[in-house]
Amino acid sequence: MRIAIVSAVTKGEHEQDDGPVDTPSLPAAEDPSANPPVPAPIEPITPLAEQYGAIIRSILLGSEAVRDMQDRMAVTIAPAVRAFQEQMAKNAGTIALGIEAYNRTILPSAEVIAALTRQMGQLPALTRASDFEEPTPPLGPYSDAMGSAGSYFQPAEEVIESFDDLHAAITKLISKTPDLPLVWRGVRNADWGLHSYLYRHLMKVNGVVPPAERPSEPQPYPDEDQMVAAEREILRIARNDWRFDDLSALETFARVQHFGGPTRLIDVTKNPYIGAWFAIEFDPDTEGDDARLFALATKPVTREGRQPPPDSTLSLDELGAARDPFWHAMETNADRQLFDWGTGARRRVWVPPAYDPRISAQNAAFILDGVPITSSKLAPYFKIEGSTYWRRNDLLASASIYAKMFKPTAKPQYNARNFAPTFSFRIAAKAKREIRDVMESRFGYRLSYIYPDMSALASHLKSLPLDGSAV
């Protein structure tokens, strides 16, 4: 590397055009036949040194006067040469340290790659490589049927108009999916998508126009490479600037998420009623909107007569506790398919340590998956009607992970591409208050239970008049 740097500096100086060099007249050599040894030439370092070298090569080197000049030049230039060489050595060391730091903090380590390889052996892919060989680009604008994320979820949703409806729907779904692990997520507006905060942030950065505005061209939705690049920047800033250098990548992301920062983690809960509470939580901006409760299976329906796939729950083991995000080692869609990352077949769930009271109170967990790898071979599984399919733009406007919708009123069936089911319940706006009242009186679910910390108390107090009327 040092040679390359020196060469670059020398080349840049050689390209300078300072005009012709005037060679001064010098006395002729006293003994032209004499052939004294020629000192080793000094490598040109500066424009002045280059001119000195040109003078030496253009005169009679046998002259005593010339030899004296060479000696004086050598004495003059030697300190500069030594200083330059020392500086280059320091620069090379700095560059080497920088590369080492970059490798240590950003690039996947050999340990992560080895752990990933072992897990791939334990959890073979549930999908076929041939289905993902030719990912589809965004073909045209949104579908005509796509007005919002709610448009995509609506055909398979169940409508909830009371607490009794909610309780019956949850009970029925659980009874129809005895072998499917489920996690739950509630959103206060039924037209909101199933996106991570980081994905929504990058949609805004990219200037994505939502389907409600009916753009006439494809939209620049983030892809997996952009998500990875953003995560690398998050880790660099967290570790270098904020000095959170002693946490694994997952723990770093979880803490950033907890304080409202952008990550790819999607908040879920293992308790369906807490998921519903988040959907109907009071907010003046959304109280008049229908809400939505999602139930997400973490693995696909098993084909009859086959063994179910192993659980893919993450823990803080050699992979989950790694300094490097294991999914950053997957550089291509072919790599990602081998690990079922972004294929919709395997959703990794991580239950973080209870470093905050909210985690235990909410029975909280995170879903971790890649951006969907869409292809023409998978399109028939996302049918609008007849031979019309949801487009890539439609799918990404609805979720930052694959969300293959199944009706919660029917027993989910095996599908050949092993998409893990997603179920959806639309909670009518008029039912929100009644459901809140029942949850508070019968379950004890209220603001102070779901957010049992001083930060929530402070925020709640700021929203009150504190005029003594509530005493």
Same-domain check for residues 161 and 282: yes
State whether residue 184 is helix, strand or coil: strand
* Domain presence at residue 85: yes
Q: Within this chain, do residues 44 and 165 fall inside the same structural domain, yes or no? A: no
> Same domain for 258 and 331?
yes
Regarding whether 384 and 246 lie in a shared domain, the answer is yes
Same domain, 46 and 142: no
Pairing between β-strand 421-427 and β-strand 291-297 as defined by DSSP bridges: antiparallel
Statement to judge: residues 94 and 184 lie in one domain: no
Could you list the residue range(s) of the whole structural domain that residue 75 is in?
A: 2-14+40-104
Q: Is residue 451 domain-shared with residue 377, that is, in the same domain?
A: yes
Residue the block writes with tokens 């380590």: 109
What pLDDT does 134 receive? 84
| Assigned domain for 158 exists | yes
Q: What is the pLDDT of residues 309-361, one digit of tens each?
A: 888 888 888 788 889 899 999 999 999 999 999 999 999 999 999 889 999 99
Q: 193-215: per-residue pLDDT in tens?
A: 999 999 999 999 999 999 999 99
Total domains, the chain: 2
pLDDT digits (tens, 9 = 90+) for 99-129: 444 444 445 666 666 666 666 666 789 999 9
| Inter-CA distances, 115 with 119, 125, 253, 310, 329, Å | 6, 16, 20, 17, 11
Note whether 160 and 79 are same-domain residues: no
94 and 6 housed in the same domain: yes
Cβ burial 90-108 (10 Å sphere, 16+ → b, else e):
eebeeeeeeeeeeeebbeb
What percentage of the chain's residues is helix, strand, coil (to nearest 5)?
Answer: 45, 10, 45
